[in-house]
């Protein structure tokens, strides 16, 4: 199949196994499908994992000695991976990209999708070991709702790579430590794989924004590219991992500005995921 068919399968097939389809099936990276209607729909999902309005609280770190709480945390993470797959598929489908960049942007996105599929499977295998199935807890669509505001690849990379995936550097490191503190090395190792891969995903976004920003600083270009109501506060977790950000190619100025950035969200909201 071509890249467009592949992306459509990931986004629009309700079957979970189709969302995990190996990119090796892609025979061609050309083709186009700029279908704006896709933006207004939700990814198709099996009944058991359909988006819910029910607001489930992320488990407190003081409860991580309990398998069921750890499973719940990883259930959140698994849903984020699945959302990432769907958002990346949506980007492939409806964001136009100039021919000169098209092949490299598309192959990079597909490589990232492959990593997210791997992460999803690692989390689900682990929660299965705790006796939980994916879909046993309600799942939310917060990330998807942000994706619906994205119209261009500079916006996409600002939202996905420099905001959500950058925040995940902090979260992956933070929860990796927490799992370690309750002697759960197996879960901690999963967080480390995610962390290492996430550096390359953030780097992918940093690379393209640097290509396109012209005279602007990365910081200004990034901020201007964020959709309404999304601020750099969302690009940080509970702790702040400078090291991973530097490895992803962010410069000192950018890392300092993110670190110092404050808004309402930090004050009111950042206790939960
Ligand atoms: Fe991931
Ligand atoms: Fe990622």
Nearest ligand (C-alpha, residue 248): 2
Rounded to whole angstroms, the maximal C-alpha distance in the chain is: 53
The per-residue pLDDT for range 169-194, each reduced to its tens digit, is 999 999 999 999 999 999 999 999 99
The reply to whether the predicted model has a pTM over 0.85 is yes
Residue 209 near residue 222, CB atoms below 8 Å: yes
Spatial separation of the C-alpha atoms in residues 70 and 185, rounded to whole Å: 12
Give distance in angstroms: CA of 121 to centre of ligand 2: 14
Above 90 in pLDDT, residue 271? no
The per-residue pLDDT for range 37-49, each reduced to its tens digit, is 666 678 999 888 8
Distance (Å) of CA 186 to CA 44, 112, 120, 132, 199: 32, 23, 15, 16, 21
Residue 252's H or E segment, with its range, is helix 252-260
Q: What is the mean pLDDT of residues 209-222?
A: 95
Give the pLDDT band (50/70/90) at residue 244. Answer: very high
Q: What is the mean pLDDT of residues 83-112?
A: 92
Give distance in angstroms: CA of 143 to centre of ligand 2: 13
Q: What is the pLDDT of residue 204?
A: 98
Q: Decide if domain 67-269 falls under CATH 1.10.1760.20.
A: no
The per-residue pLDDT for range 59-74, each reduced to its tens digit, is 999 999 999 999 999 9
Stated length of the chain: 273
Where do the domains of the chain lie? 67-269
Q: What is the pLDDT of residue 268?
A: 52
Q: What is the mean pLDDT of residues 93-100?
A: 85
Give distance in angstroms: CA of 199 to centre of ligand 2: 8
């Amino acid at each position: 199949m071509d890249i467009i068919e592949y992306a459509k399968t990931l986004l629009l097939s309700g079957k979970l196994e189709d969302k995990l389809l190996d990119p090796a099936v892609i025979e061609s990276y050309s083709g186009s499908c700029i279908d704006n209607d896709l933006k207004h729909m939700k990814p198709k999902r099996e009944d058991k994992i359909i988006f819910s309005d029910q607001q489930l609280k992320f488990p407190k770190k003081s409860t991580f000695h309990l398998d069921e709480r750890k499973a719940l945390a990883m259930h959140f993470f698994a849903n984020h991976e699945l959302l990432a797959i769907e958002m990346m598929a949506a980007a492939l489908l409806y964001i136009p990209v100039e021919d000169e960049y098209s092949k490299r942007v598309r192959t990079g996105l597909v490589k990232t999708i492959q990593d997210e599929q791997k992460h999803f499977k690692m989390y689900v295998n682990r929660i299965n070991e705790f006796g939980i199935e994916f879909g046993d807890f309600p799942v939310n669509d917060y990330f998807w709702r942000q994706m619906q505001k994205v119209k261009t690849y500079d916006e996409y990379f600002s939202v996905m790579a420099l905001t959500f995936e950058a925040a995940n550097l902090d979260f992956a490191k933070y929860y990796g430590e927490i799992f370690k503190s309750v002697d759960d090395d197996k879960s901690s190792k999963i967080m480390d794989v995610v962390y290492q891969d996430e550096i390359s995903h953030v780097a992918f976004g940093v690379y393209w924004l640097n290509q396109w920003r012209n005279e602007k600083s990365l910081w200004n270009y990034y901020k201007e590219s964020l959709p309404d109501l999304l601020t750099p506060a969302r690009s940080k977790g509970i702790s702040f991992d400078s090291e991973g950000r530097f490895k992803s190619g962010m410069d000192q100025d950018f890392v300092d500005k993110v670190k110092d950035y404050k808004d309402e969200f930090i004050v009111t909201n950042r206790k939960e995921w």
